[in-house]
Chain A
Amino acid sequence: GAVVSQHPSRVICKSGTSVKIECRSLDFQATTMFWYRQFPKKSLMLMATSNEGSKATYEQGVEKDKFLINHASLTLSTLTVTSAHPEDSSFYICSAYLQAKEKLFFGSGTQLSVL
């Protein structure tokens, strides 16, 4: 089956630093990937849609300068949380859409803790 790898699984950083999270589709090409944020015991909140070779589409209320998304290849999208603050602490999950199976395949998530 299709596999999406997300790295790192956990990161702890100091306030003010930037953190990069990678999302890779390992055995299929994904022109579209999605980034979500999830708070404890809550649903997934779509942050942005990452499109290969073009700018990401951000959901309302998500700061594009704060959450930088780059989708430079058909198998890799990155999310950079810039100048992280404690309120950015959350579980971030990526997914890639496989058209042939009409399914989203999810990465295993990244737990970000900003001290």
Chain B
Amino acid sequence: SQQGEEDPQALSIQEGENATMNCSYKTSINNLQWYRQNSGRGLVHLILIRSNEREKHSGRLRVTLDTSKKSSSLLITASRAADTASYFCATDRGNSGYSTLTFGKGTMLLVSP
């Protein structure tokens, strides 16, 4: 079963606004990753946060991780129409010698001009 659960399922905002997506998971993890998927395309890795990290930034992206609550959030600041996509969190238990990620159901973000 899918470990990550994102909310909201869908988010519609105006350009320039910030978008916040949340992810909850159930078991202990080695790291948590966020991916973006444009419609009908593969996924693109956005950012990885390790279990011993609490916050990470990359450009307009800010990710937080709260292992006590088993949750993470992805903030996209000053959103653009080009940010329109589905965003997935994925948890990596890191116990296989290679990465086997479990993906959440995703948040569909629509940024209107």
Contacts and interface: CB of A to CB of B under 8 A. Distances in A.
Interface of A: 4, 6, 31-32, 34, 41-44, 46, 49, 91, 93, 95, 97, 99, 102-109, 111
A42 B105 contact: yes
B25 interface: no
Contacts, number: 54
- Closest 3 pairs (CB-CB, A-B): A106-B42, A43-B105, A106-B43
Contact of B104 (A43, A49, A111): A43
Interface residues of B, number: 22
A102 B63 CA distance: 17
Contacts of A43: 2, 88, 103-106
Nearest to A10: B40
A97 B33 CA distance: 13
Contacts of B108: 41
B99 interface: yes
A34 B40 CA distance: 18
Nearest to A42: B105
Q: Is the interface of B mostly helix, strand, loop or mixed?
A: strand
Contacts of B104: 43
Contacts of A44: 43, 88, 103
B103 A109 contact: no
A103 B106 contact: no
Contact of B42 (A31, A32, A107): A107
B33 to A, nearest CB: 8
Given A44-B88, A107-B42, A102 B99 contact: yes
